[in-house]
Amino acid sequence: MTIQWFPGHMAKARREVTENLKLVDIIFELIDARLPLSSRNPMLDEVVHQKTRLLILNKMDMADDTQTKKWIAYFESKGHPTVAINSLEGKGLQTVFKASKELLKPKWDRMKERGIKPRAIRAMIVGIPNVGKSTLINRFAKKNIAKTGNTPGVTKRQQWIKVEKEIELLDTPGILWPKFEDQEIGYKLALTGAIKDAVINMEDLAIYGLRFLESHYPRRMEERYKVTTVSEDLVETFDHIGKLRRCYGPGGEVDYDQVAELIVRDIRNQQLGKLTFDFVNEYE
Ligand SMILES: Nc1nc2c(ncn2[C@@H]2O[C@H](COP(=O)(O)OP(=O)(O)OP(=O)(O)O)[C@@H](O)[C@H]2O)c(=O)[nH]1
């Protein structure tokens, strides 16, 4: 699903998240592990206020492991509990449960002290499009299909999915918009498939991708494309890659559109390995 984020849609999305916040004890902020800053919603801090929150770096199978570890340490140092998971294969889900229980223990202890019978922890997922919200919900749901049904006092279309003995998840995630303020973030989101190709110029994106590889993963670029630097004269680099990978037009000349698509596809399909596009040391 690709959403056009007009002001009206943004206001509606924000309103929905704010409404659902009242129903839950904890927010699972789903982030793309390849883009730990660029895939966060710029206003979520404001929307969430004091609500307990767990940062979940999803798609860890596609991200650079060294960077993922650094990002977890970075967020934790800023006071944000953080875990990394792979929703597609259901890896790391136990860390989500464990962290949720730990984070809510003080609240639950207080409830017990006041004689309130412990109930399940209620959670909701919030994240930008394509970050893996539905995949994670399905993963949770399949493990423990029993839906708990409508809870009194809760809008009837909302269902709670029992994901674990003591945890329930709202079956509708909160979808918020990504950051679009700068072009670089746009390119990063496009390289991970979070933005539709139609709104992006493929050649610009491929050039951004190559320059990113040159500065952050030069050895992998060399292995794949047999170049160590991106030439000032981009035609030279495109010609080189085009010949290497046989991207020819009908007349036998290098087809630059094909080259651009190939580079973007290679990056997205992990032909250059596991990549993280936000480098933690650039933000520290
Ligand atoms: N490799 C990998 N792919 C994942 C993971 N989680 C989700 N995906 C893939 O990411 C894509 C988007 O996942 P969705 O679950 O549809 O994302 P969403 O956040 O619900 O997207 P919207 O409905 O657009 O808001 C799908 O192709 C998933 O298979 C993961 O942990 N690892």
| CB 132 near ligand 1, within 6 Å | yes
| CB 129 near ligand 1, within 6 Å | yes
Cα–Cα distance measured from residue 73 to residue 114, given in angstroms and rounded to the nearest whole number: 36
Residue nearest atom 23 in ligand 1 by C-alpha distance: 1
What does the mean pLDDT of the chain come to? 91
CA of 134 from ligand 1 middle (Å) equals 7
Mean pLDDT (whole number) for 115-120: 90
| CB 41 near ligand 1, within 6 Å | no
Res. 72: pLDDT tops 50: yes
Region of poorest pLDDT, from 4-8, 25-29, 93-97, 205-209: 4-8
Res. 156: pLDDT tops 80: no
The confidence band for 158, taking pLDDT boundaries of 50, 70 and 90, is confident
Mean pLDDT (whole number) for 217-226: 97
CA–centroid distance for 132 within its chain: 7
- 44-72: b or e for each residue (b if 16 or more CB lie within 10 Å)? beebbeeebbbbbbbbbbbbbeebbebbb
Question: pLDDT per residue over 27-36, tens digit each?
Answer: 999 999 999 9
Give the highest mean pLDDT range of 129-143, 145-159, 168-182, 208-222: 208-222
Question: pLDDT per residue over 244-269, tens digit each?
Answer: 999 999 999 999 999 999 999 999 99
* Percent of the chain scoring above 70 in pLDDT: 93
Instruction: Output the pLDDT for position 196.
Output: 75
Which residue do the tokens 């999915």 mark? 161
The β-bridge relationship of strands 160-164 and 167-170 is antiparallel
**Residue at 228: amino acid letter:** T
Residue bearing the bigger pLDDT, 2 or 183: 183
Cα–Cα distance measured from residue 72 to residue 82, given in angstroms and rounded to the nearest whole number: 6
Question: Which own/partner contact pairs does 198-207 have at CB distance under 8 Å and 24+ positions apart?
Answer: 202/257, 202/260, 202/261, 202/264, 203/256, 203/257, 203/260, 205/260, 205/264, 206/259, 206/260, 206/261, 206/263, 206/264, 207/234, 207/260
Res. 284: pLDDT tops 70: no
CB distance 39 to 128 below 8 Å:
yes
CB distance 103 to 27 below 8 Å:
no
Contacts of 6 (CB under 8 A, 6+ apart): none
| CB 39 near ligand 1, within 6 Å | no
Supply 64's token pair: 């650079």
First to last CA, the chain: 33
Residue nearest atom 6 in ligand 1 by C-alpha distance: 132
Instruction: Output the pLDDT for position 94.
Output: 95
Instruction: Output the pLDDT for position 231.
Output: 87
| CB 200 near ligand 1, within 6 Å | no
Cα–Cα distance measured from residue 178 to residue 68, given in angstroms and rounded to the nearest whole number: 20
- The enclosing H or E element of 57 equals strand 52-58
The confidence band for 147, taking pLDDT boundaries of 50, 70 and 90, is very low
Supply 138's token pair: 């399905």
Residue bearing the bigger pLDDT, 161 or 49: 161
ipTM passes above 0.85: yes
Question: pLDDT per residue over 170-219, tens digit each?
Answer: 999 999 999 887 899 999 999 998 887 777 899 999 999 999 999 999 99
- The enclosing H or E element of 76 equals helix 65-77
The confidence band for 154, taking pLDDT boundaries of 50, 70 and 90, is very low
CA of 66 from ligand 1 middle (Å) equals 22
- The enclosing H or E element of 141 equals helix 133-143
Instruction: Output the pLDDT for position 240.
Output: 97
